[in-house]
Amino acid sequence: MKKITLDFGGPLSAAAPTRREIHEYIAAKMEFPEYYGHNLDALYDCLTDITEPTAVGIVIPVTSEDPYIRKVRKAFADAETDNPNLAVFDLAEIPEKLEERLREPEE
């Protein structure tokens, strides 16, 4: 299984990234073809074209209020629904969910 991490709190957090920079980052990490259109429709198309099992971990900082990053996340969610070869995880939520699980009483 191919595993990819997209950290929108990492290299893109220094300044407000443009939509083009966001798509260039995604295209490089996801190894999209050169003809990738750098927009949400092209993102969805490339994600639904994935033919090998691929897990994508996405980190969106809680402090991020960029509405476009949220639209990008929705494109990943929609593509995950339509492509059985794609699994998408919100990595920023994992520590919080783990902490909740550790607090839950065992049955």
pLDDT at 107: 53
Task: Give tens-digit pLDDT for 16-28.
Answer: 788 999 999 999 9
Task: Give tens-digit pLDDT for 88-105.
Answer: 998 876 555 545 555 555
In the chain, where are the structural domains located?
2-103
Average pLDDT over residues 45-70: 88
The closest of 53, 12, 47 to 32, measured between CA atoms, is 47
Which residue matches tokens 């065992």? 106
Sorting pLDDT into bands at 50, 70 and 90, what band is 81? very high
Q: Rounded to two decimals, what is the model's pTM?
A: 0.81
The closest of 37, 3, 45, 6 to 20, measured between CA atoms, is 37
| CATH 3.30.370.10 describes domain 2-103 | yes
